[in-house]
């Protein structure tokens, strides 16, 4: 065998006549006895052997759903009892093997394992540590699907664990619940199993673990535990488990291990940084014999954290994000980099879909190489590729020009390796030339720029776009017109999307049914949803959004400057995937987008019908956004488009208009020094959309699954008439801000039940939640509603849950009336 290399054999069909095109045959030691072949005259005269060394390339992580959402469908089939655990595991195994082989074939040297998950990587860590909350009745042993999915989704008797946003992304993780009495046991051997699985395929991988400090900093005190309890106090306890895991990985033959510590990019306090140093110092002896990579991403690493990381003796490499970390290169230049350690340079964007500017990235790498040394620089992605779509090859409907500007996860793997080869002196000139041509095409394309839109957006900067009348006076005017009861009930927007409904939309898009047939089918669905809400006695209705595939894509399809994919799915949480639109140019609204359906729905009922829109900040944050101008400029353009839609809805007689800003908190920068600027333009963008409506038009907004307490004053500054906001899944965390004295004068509907769980709450449970709200909020501003839209639920769950919600509201109304 020849040093464990893969070999590329160049076979010239006509002897040594190199005028003929060579045939390339890739072989490895296991399939080709090169020593024997080398002794033959045939090989001497007619073959050339070149060892294919893997360049210094690395991928932080990879999408787990599959190119056609194979995992999503396998999970949902399993949850519905239509397939077995073995069936689910088979799909998962096939996906993992395919991903590893893809990266190996692309020439990636440091291939990650344990980045696959059946639901969430933080939940996987909770399972590894055996940190199962008591309510799930875990009794020990290897954690199976029953316990695992109960924690993620809840079950008939107990609610799910809290779910919130993963840093500033649209991915959601399951929040660990910890307390001083939490018992930790090594209860999931997934990391070791998947490493062994890859090794059996002949692929050496780098097992990836959520780092112990990040895990604890993302945790929350369990229910009943003092809020002052610090999960960091459990560091010593969980390090015992980490030592067991690393010992098993070492015994299995692992040579590298990656600890993801993204919290290091945040503004940590000194004791938190000390915990990081303490953790890896304590792990040092256990990690002896392993190369250790500390991976950071999503922002610049602050100087103090950089100093702490690079000072560690027991680590071999540091991963830095040079895309969102715009000051990282300067930091490395000024602070230097420790001799003998590897720098994993994240120069390929893991969070957007634009093709890398290879020439620019190569320049950055060469600047780093001068500091780090030629043999100590590894080309990497800025973060896991799970935040991008999977493979551009699957996109058959994107036009060729836009497609040439893009790179999905599979293409980014190729970009990483191309940069690594170029850095090693093996630059693929043709690949770099094609990339340069695509970059030039995008900059000069007339499709990108609309001067009229740019002028209109620029003119916005002279005003703060506030409604003239204060919210208290507006609410009085609205109540006179709407005549709602106290504790008015509503839902957030969407109703269940049945298979029949999805089929109708697909058939219409494929021109298999006429527009008349499509409108008739959607009208029937809206009528059904309206009648159901009237039967349930809900006060403010929604039309259920049957015509919409996604709350962002639906609008993007009707706005200029957007492009769309067929299979550009990205995981949001669990089996839930979204297909973000691509904003490639200036944005405008050619015609009305929702007025037809809203007018139709309002004509079916005498009750107020909400016009449903997605706000500009959410459209921005849930799209793949152009990177050739500041994000706020694009957001202002979207705000102007939504403003026109709001005014058209009002003119059509819609008295309640909801402008969802579910992703406003998600876009908040991780560093405090950058947050005020973001909140200023994000809140301003929302106000632009509705600044011109009459006092009697009630403007709602909705937010979900983030920590809102730290931006409550910005939420108030949005100046919406009513805000509905997720509350129950996060164990009523939102209410604490009002207990602490924040005064809120507008209408507010903290969610009374979690729609991301199949569990149906009782009337008593919901009434108890409402009473907790009434303890901190005025009766006349409180609304009753679910946490979020009902799109992902089934009617068999929605009907009883909403029945109980309305019954709880009526019960409280009766109780409140009797106390007057």
Q: Please name the residue that has the structure tokens 């001083």.
A: 180
Cα 527 to chain centroid, rounded: 34
Task: Tell me how far apart the alpha carbons of residues 181 and 133 are, in angstroms, rounded to a whole number.
Answer: 11
What is the DSSP annotation of 241-310?
Answer: HHHHHHHHHHHHT--EEEEE-GGGGS---HHHHHHHHHHHHHHTTTTTTSEEEEE--SSPPPHHHHHHHH
Residues 6+ apart with CB under 8 A from 397: 564, 565, 566
Quote the tokens at residue 66: 């599959």
**Residues 585, 612 contacting (CB under 8 angstroms):** no
Closest-CA residue to 305 (of 342, 280, 341, 286): 280
- The residues facing 612 across adjacent strands are 658
Rg (CA), the chain: 28
Q: Let me know: does 117 contact 149? Beta carbons within 8 Å.
A: no
* Cβ neighbours for 148, distance < 8 A, ≥ 6 positions apart: 118, 119, 123, 127
Helix (H) or strand (E) holding 419: helix 409-423
Q: Which residues are catalytic?
A: 756
| Strand-pair category, 560-563 with 582-588 | antiparallel
Spatial CB neighbours of 294, under 8 Å, sequence gap ≥ 6: 211, 259, 261, 264, 280, 309, 312, 315, 317, 318, 319
Query: Could you please report the per-residue DSSP string of 55-115?
Result: PSBB-S---SS-TT-HHHHHHHHHHTTSS-HHHHHHHHHHHHHHHHHHHHHTT-SBEEES-
> What is the DSSP-derived secondary structure letter of residue 544?
B
What are the Cα distances from residue 764, in Å, to 210, 488, 770, 804?
Answer: 39, 18, 10, 8
Report the alpha-carbon angle 760-761-767, nearest 5. 155
How would you class 510 by CB atoms within 10 Å of its CB: exposed for 0-12, middle for 13-18, buried for 19 or more?
exposed
CA distance 356 to 436: 10
- Indicate the SS3 state at residue 587: strand
What is the C-alpha separation between 732 and 432, in angstroms, rounded?
53
Q: Are 740 and 697 in contact (CB under 8 A)?
A: no
Tokens of 643: 């403003």
Contact present, 526 and 543 (Cβ < 8 Å):
yes
Strand 23-28, strand 6-11: pairing: antiparallel
The Cα–Cα gap between 757 and 779 comes to 28
Q: Integer distance in angstroms from the first to the last C-alpha of the chain?
A: 90
Q: Rounded to an integer, what distance in angstroms lies between the CA atom of residue 528 and that of residue 501?
A: 12
- Select from 199, 13, 231, 225 the least CA-distant residue to 125: 231
Give the residue ranges of DSSP H helices in 469-592: 471-482, 499-509, 515-536, 553-556
- Specify the length of the chain in residues: 820
């Amino acid at each position: 065998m020849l040093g464990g290399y893969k070999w590329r054999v160049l076979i010239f069909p006509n002897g040594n006549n190199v005028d003929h095109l060579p045939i390339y045959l890739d072989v490895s030691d296991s399939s080709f006895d090169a020593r024997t072949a080398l002794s033959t005259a045939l090989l001497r005269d007619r073959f050339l052997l070149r060892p294919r060394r893997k360049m210094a390339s690395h991928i932080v992580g990879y999408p787990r759903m599959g190119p056609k959402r194979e995992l999503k469908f396998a999970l949902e089939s399993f949850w519905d009892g239509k397939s077995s655990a073995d069936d689910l595991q088979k799909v998962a195994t096939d996906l993992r093997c395919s991903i590893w082989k893809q990266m190996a074939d692309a020439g990636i040297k440091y291939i990650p394992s344990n980045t696959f998950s059946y639901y969430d990587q933080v939940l996987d860590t909770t399972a590894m540590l055996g940190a199962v909350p008591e309510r799930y009745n875990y009794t020990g042993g290897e954690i199976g699907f029953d316990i695992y999915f109960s924690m993620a989704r809840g079950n008939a008797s107990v609610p799910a664990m809290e779910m919130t946003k993963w840093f500033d992304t649209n991915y959601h993780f399951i929040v660990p619940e910890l307390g001083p009495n939490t018992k930790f046991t090594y209860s999931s051997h997934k990391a070791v199993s998947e490493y062994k699985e890859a090794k059996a395929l002949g692929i050496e991988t780098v097992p990836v673990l959520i780092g112990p400090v990040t895990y604890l900093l993302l945790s929350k005190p369990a229910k009943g535990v003092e809020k002052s309890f610090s999960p960091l106090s459990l560091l010593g306890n969980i390090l015992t488990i980490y030592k067991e895991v690393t010992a098993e990985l070492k015994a299995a033959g692992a040579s590298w291990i990656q600890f993801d510590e993204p919290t290091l990019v945040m503004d940590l306090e000194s004791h938190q940084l000390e915990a990081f140093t303490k953790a890896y110092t304590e792990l040092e002896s256990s990690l002896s014999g392993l190369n250790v990579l500390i991976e950071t991403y999503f922002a610049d690493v602050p100087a103090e954290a950089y100093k702490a990381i690079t000072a560690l003796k027991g680590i071999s490499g540091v991963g830095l994000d040079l895309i969102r970390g715009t000051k990282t290169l300067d930091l490395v230049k000024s602070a230097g980099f420790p001799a003998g350690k590897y720098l994993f340079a994240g120069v390929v964007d893991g969070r957007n879909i634009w093709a890398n500017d290879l020439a620019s990235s190569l320049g950055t790498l060469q600047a780093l190489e001068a500091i780090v040394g030629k043999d100590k620089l590894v080309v990497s992605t800025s973060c896991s590729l799970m935040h991008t779509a999977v493979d551009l090859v699957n996109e058959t409907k994107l036009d060729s020009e836009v497609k040439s500007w893009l790179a999905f996860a599979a293409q980014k793997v190729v970009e990483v390796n191309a940069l690594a080869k170029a850095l090693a002196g093996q630059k693929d000139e043709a690949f770099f030339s094609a990339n340069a041509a695509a970059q030039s095409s995008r900059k000069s394309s007339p499709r990108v720029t609309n001067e009229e839109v740019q002028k209109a957006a620029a003119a916005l900067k002279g005003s703060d776009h506030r409604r003239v009348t204060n919210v208290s006076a507006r609410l009085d005017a609205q109540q006179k017109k709407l005549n709602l009861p106290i504790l008015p009930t509503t839902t957030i927007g969407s109703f269940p999307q049945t298979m029949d409904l999805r089929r109708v939309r697909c058939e219409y898009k494929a021109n298999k049914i006429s527009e008349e047939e499509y409108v008739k089918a959607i009208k029937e669905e809206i009528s059904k949803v309206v009648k159901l809400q009237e039967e349930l006695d809900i006060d403010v209705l929604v039309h259920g959004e049957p015509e919409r595939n996604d709350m962002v894509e639906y609008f993007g399809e009707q706005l200029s400057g957007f492009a769309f994919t067929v299979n550009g799915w990205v995981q949001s949480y669990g089996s839930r995937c979204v297909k973000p639109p691509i904003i490639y140019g200036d944005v405008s609204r050619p015609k009305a987008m929702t007025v037809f359906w809203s007018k139709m729905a309002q004509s079916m009922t005498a009750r107020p019908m909400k016009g449903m829109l997605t706000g500009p900040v959410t459209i921005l944050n849930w799209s793949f956004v152009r990177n050739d101008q500041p994000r706020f400029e694009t957001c202002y353009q979207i705000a102007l488009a939504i403003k026109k839609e709001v005014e058209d809805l009002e003119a059509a007689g819609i008295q309640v208009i909801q402008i969802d800003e579910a992703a406003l908190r998600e876009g908040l920068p991780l560093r405090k020094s950058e947050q005020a600027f973001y909140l200023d333009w994000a809140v301003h963008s929302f106000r632009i959309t509705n600044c011109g409506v009459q006092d009697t038009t009630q403007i709602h907004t909705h937010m979900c699954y983030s920590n809102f307490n730290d931006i409550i004053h910005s939420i108030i500054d949005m100046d919406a008439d009513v805000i509905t906001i997720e509350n129950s899944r996060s164990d009523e965390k939102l209410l604490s801000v009002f207990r602490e004295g924040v005064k809120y004068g507008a209408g507010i509907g903290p969610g009374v039940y979690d729609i991301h769980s199949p569990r149906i709450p009782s009337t008593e449970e919901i009434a108890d939640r409402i009473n907790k709200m009434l303890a901190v909020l005025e009766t006349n501003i409180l609304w009753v509603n679910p946490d979020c839209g009902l799109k992902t639920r089934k009617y068999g769950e929605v009907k009883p849950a909403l029945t109980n919600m309305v019954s709880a509201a009526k019960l409280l109304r009766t109780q409140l009336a009797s106390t007057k």
